[in-house]
Amino acid sequence: MLLPVQLTAQELDILIRGGTLIDGSGSRQIRGDVGIIGDRIVFVGSGAGRSARRIIDATGLVVTPGFIDPHTHTAGDLSDPKRSRNDPYLMQGVTTVVTGNDGDSPTSIADTFARWSRQGIGTNAALFIGQGTVRREVMGMSDAKPTPEQLDHMKALVATAMQEGAIGISTGLYYAPGSYSSTEEVIALASIAAAHGGIYDTHMRDESSYTVGLLASVRETIRIGREAHIPVMISHIKALGVDVWGQSKDVIALVDEARRQGINVTASQYPYTASGTSVTAALVPRWAEANGALLKNINDPAVRPRLVNEMNQNLVRRGGADTLLMTSAPDHSIVGKTLEAIARERKESPIDAAIQIIQAGGSDVASFNMKESDIEAFMRQSWVMTCSDGSEGHPRKYGTFPRKLREYVYKRNVIPLEFAIRSSTSLTAQTLGLKDRGLLKPGYFADVLVFDPKTIDERATYENPRVLATGVRYLTVNGQLAVDNGALTSVLAGRVLKQSASREAQLK
Ligand SMILES: [Zn+2]
């Protein structure tokens, strides 16, 4: 009986005073204080009379849970001591990142976690095991169907990854080698992740009209959820290209119907009209890449006409050569130019120019292929969470979360502020099974963001994508200040978040 009394009397480590509190649940904002002791929030409400080692005046500022990003490409950043603080994310107010998406993850979950814990990381981090990674381990870049032995081997690799703490399995069914997998093969592996309490995250087979089409891909995802008994998350949901513009309506109807049937379907989304990919992934048909034979196929006169023809169709689908902007390439001279401009300079057709770029080592591109009305329709859904899908050469890695607030909440009023905060916090924590994160609530981990509603915004652009966002004033990660008065501190307070650990904690 003495314990609660002692607890209320105890000095706080941090008191955030007088802010506009948005707790992440979707509930309306209130004015109040947040108290932190150690790595936990101890109260949300009035801190009157409480003493604290550090008092933060949040008058005029908004206080929310730290943002959680379910789809990033940060595994390399977190493993590199020079980048492991994860500055682009901290300065967006992100306290937890997930990586290993799109079917592509580190091969060893345990080794990666051990390295991050040893070296220190600036944000919390969780990992998916990538289905493409597992397939490549067992079958290389073969487009064959796995033998029963190969399938068993892949299942065993997924089971190991899950035991080591992966939060689920990701696929990149649009990319090689994921695209060579049948739905049944994916279900077999997703079932293993499901048995360990994981979720299924997918870059779908087709977000456009390349192969099976957008709607058939959504149906495939729902089928995987139903037959593998696993929650499914559609990565970076979109309607890519003129052929499928307007189909957000049909996608939303399919997802809503599946949810009514009890299948746990959610999606992530980044708030940009351009996707980020490569010249090869955007234009080359997957058959031409099988067994790593792309360069050989390009030079084979018996194959090249068919390849050029299909690349042309894919270019039309994407919106033409002026919608592909080179963002990062071994040949620096092409960066910042569209494929159209490069083709004009070289007096070549756009496809010949694209083939030359691929032969010279390829290039990342920003591909302008989405319509605002589809983006807004998806964003309004209660099952859509914010993700950056951050990759080099696209402003989304530095700007996603502030941009969503500035552009879609404050400027255009597409969604209410509380709804936007929920989509970046508790909805994501709940979907991923992250225990005690994503809400401003006593007992929860003290991942707390304090931002200035007048200045929160991205500063990164397509021309200059690596510029930190503005408006994040304070940010605690597990109770330690990672951003203090607008500046990054030197602490690395992030933790590895293991799926099994959170599940065990939930069972207590
Ligand atoms: Zn993706």
How much distance in Å is there from the Cα of 170 to the middle of ligand 1? 10
- pLDDT of 2 reads 46
- pLDDT of 51 reads 93
How much distance in Å is there from the Cα of 227 to the middle of ligand 1? 23
- What element of type H or E holds 31? strand 30-37
- pLDDT of 291 reads 86
How much distance in Å is there from the Cα of 454 to the middle of ligand 1? 32
How much distance in Å is there from the Cα of 248 to the middle of ligand 1? 18
How much distance in Å is there from the Cα of 347 to the middle of ligand 1? 33
How much distance in Å is there from the Cα of 173 to the middle of ligand 1? 9
Q: Are 424 and 359 in contact (CB under 8 A)?
A: no
Q: Are 12 and 52 in contact (CB under 8 A)?
A: yes
How much distance in Å is there from the Cα of 483 to the middle of ligand 1? 29
How much distance in Å is there from the Cα of 492 to the middle of ligand 1? 28
Residue 499 has pLDDT above 90, yes or no: no
How much distance in Å is there from the Cα of 50 to the middle of ligand 1? 47
Whole-angstrom distance, CA of residue 357 vs CA of residue 342: 10
Strands (DSSP E) along 279-404, which ranges? 324-328, 364-368, 384-386
Question: What confidence category does residue 417 fall into, taking pLDDT thresholds of 50, 70 and 90?
Answer: very high
> Residues 157-174: what's their mean pLDDT?
98
Q: Read off the pLDDT of residues 327-376 as tens digits, 9 standing for 90 and up.
A: 989 999 999 999 999 999 999 999 999 999 999 999 999 999 999 999 99
Amino acid at 30: I
Angle, helices 248-260 vs 372-379, to 10°: value is 20
Q: Is 232 helix (H, G, I), strand (E, B) or coil?
A: strand
Q: Read off the pLDDT of residues 91-149 as tens digits, 9 standing for 90 and up.
A: 999 999 999 999 999 999 999 999 999 999 999 999 999 999 999 999 999 999 999 99
Q: Read off the pLDDT of residues 426-451 as tens digits, 9 standing for 90 and up.
A: 999 999 999 999 999 999 999 999 99
How much distance in Å is there from the Cα of 487 to the middle of ligand 1? 31
Q: Are 363 and 334 in contact (CB under 8 A)?
A: yes
How much distance in Å is there from the Cα of 174 to the middle of ligand 1? 9
How much distance in Å is there from the Cα of 72 to the middle of ligand 1? 9
> Residues 30-34: what's their mean pLDDT?
97
How much distance in Å is there from the Cα of 424 to the middle of ligand 1? 18
How much distance in Å is there from the Cα of 273 to the middle of ligand 1? 15
Q: Which of 432, 410, 412 lies closest to 421, judged by CA?
A: 410
How much distance in Å is there from the Cα of 389 to the middle of ligand 1? 7
Q: Read off the pLDDT of residues 194-247 as tens digits, 9 standing for 90 and up.
A: 999 999 999 999 999 999 999 999 999 999 999 999 999 999 999 999 999 999
- pLDDT of 55 reads 97
- pLDDT of 392 reads 82
How much distance in Å is there from the Cα of 101 to the middle of ligand 1? 7
**Residues contacting 353, CB < 8 A, separation 6+:** 339, 342, 343, 346
How much distance in Å is there from the Cα of 202 to the middle of ligand 1? 8
Question: What confidence category does residue 48 fall into, taking pLDDT thresholds of 50, 70 and 90?
Answer: confident
How much distance in Å is there from the Cα of 98 to the middle of ligand 1? 13
How much distance in Å is there from the Cα of 364 to the middle of ligand 1? 13
How much distance in Å is there from the Cα of 124 to the middle of ligand 1? 21
Q: Are 324 and 318 in contact (CB under 8 A)?
A: yes
Q: How many CA atoms lie within 13 A of 346 on its CB side?
A: 19
How much distance in Å is there from the Cα of 177 to the middle of ligand 1? 14
Q: Read off the pLDDT of residues 58-72 as tens digits, 9 standing for 90 and up.
A: 999 999 999 999 999
Q: Which of 2, 13, 3 lies closest to 42, judged by CA?
A: 13
Question: What confidence category does residue 5 fall into, taking pLDDT thresholds of 50, 70 and 90?
Answer: very low
How much distance in Å is there from the Cα of 102 to the middle of ligand 1? 5
How much distance in Å is there from the Cα of 239 to the middle of ligand 1? 13
How much distance in Å is there from the Cα of 103 to the middle of ligand 1? 9
Residue 501 has pLDDT above 70, yes or no: no
Q: Are 423 and 384 in contact (CB under 8 A)?
A: yes
Residue 507 has pLDDT above 80, yes or no: no
